[in-house]
Amino acid sequence: MYLILVYDVNVKRVAKVLKTARKYLHWVQNSVLEGELTEAGFRKLKADLSRVIDLREDSVLFYVLGDWRYTRRELMGVKKGGEEWIW
Amino acid sequence: MYLILVYDVNVKRVAKVLKTARKYLHWVQNSVLEGELTEAGFRKLKADLSRVIDLREDSVLFYVLGDWRYTRRELMGVKKGGEEWIW
C-alpha cells in the first residue's frame, strides 16, 4: 500500500510527529509525508503516533492508495519542507 | 479525476487560497481539500490559484487520483477545519 499522511497538530508536537512519521515515510512537504508501507507497518505507525499526538486536539489524515501508479503528483510554487521525493 | 490539494502558503494568503480552492473542491482538513474535477476544471483551478499565491514563497501540492475508489481515508484525532466530507 502507498500512504499519504497529512498532519495538523499543535506546534508543540510538530517535531515529535514529524520524527515519528519519518521513521516510516518520506517527507515531501511541510505537513505531508508519503511512502510505501505494509499493513503491519501502517498499524505500527498509527500506534507510535497515538503515543505522540493529543487525540483531543491534533489531527492526522491518511490516504491509503492501493497502488501509487494510479496517482500523479503536481506541485505549484516552491518545494517546501520535504527533501525526500521519490517519484 | 479525483483531486487532493494540500496547501502551504503564507498566512496572509490562506483565506484567499481557501476561498479559491473551495470553488472547486471540498474542504476536508485545515490545509487539505478534495473533490472530483474534470481536466478542464483542474486547469482552471490552477490558473485561479496562480493569481492568488506567490509562486516564490507558497506551495500547493496536488495528488491526482485516477479513481478515488482505489483510495481509502483514515483519520486519527479530531476532525479539523473541514465540514465537507463526502466519503
Domain ranges within chain A, ordered by starting residue: 2-69
**Chain A residues closer than 8 Å to B58 by CB:** 77-78
Determine the average pLDDT of the residues in A64-85.
78
* pLDDT grade for B85, boundaries at 50, 70 and 90: low
User: What ipTM goes with this model?
Assistant: 0.83
Question: B20 pLDDT band (50/70/90 cuts)?
Answer: very high
Q: How far apart are CA A11 and CA A27, in angstroms?
A: 17
Q: What is the pLDDT of residue B83?
A: 58
SS3 category, A86? coil
| Chosen CATH of B2-67 out of 1.20.140.10, 3.40.50.720, 2.60.40.10, 3.30.70.240 | 3.30.70.240
Q: What is the pLDDT of residue B35?
A: 93
**Contacts A53 to B, Cβ<8 Å:** 76-77
Q: What confidence category does residue B70 fall into, taking pLDDT thresholds of 50, 70 and 90?
A: confident
Backbone dihedral angles phi then psi of residue B82, each to the nearest 5 degrees = -80, 145
Contact A33, A26 (CB under 8 A): yes
The C-alpha cell that represents B5 in the structure block: 490539494
Chain B residues close to A67, C-beta within 8 Å: 70
The fold adopted by the segment(s) A2-69 is: Alpha-Beta Plaits (3.30.70)
| All cell numbers assigned to B67 | 479513481
A78:B55 CB<8 A: yes
Give me the count of residues in chain A. 87
Contact B4 A4 (CB under 8 A): yes
Determine contact: B6 vs chain A, CB below 8 A.
yes
pLDDT digits (tens, 9 = 90+) for B31-64: 999 999 999 999 999 999 999 999 999 999 999 9
- Cα A21 to Cα A31, A48, A54, B63: the distances in Å are 11, 9, 15, 19
Q: Is the pLDDT assigned to residue B87 strictly greater than 60? A: no
Q: Tell me the sheet residues that pair with B21.
A: none
A57-69 core/surface letters (b: 16 or more CB in 10 A; e: else):
ebbbbbbbbeebe
Whole-number mean pLDDT of chain B?
Answer: 89
Mutate to test the interface with B, among A2, A57, A63 (most CBs of B within 10 A): A63
Q: Test A75 with B59 for CB contact under 8 angstroms.
A: yes
Query: Which pLDDT tens digit goes with each residue over A16-66?
Result: 999 999 999 999 888 999 999 999 999 999 999 999 999 999 999 999 987
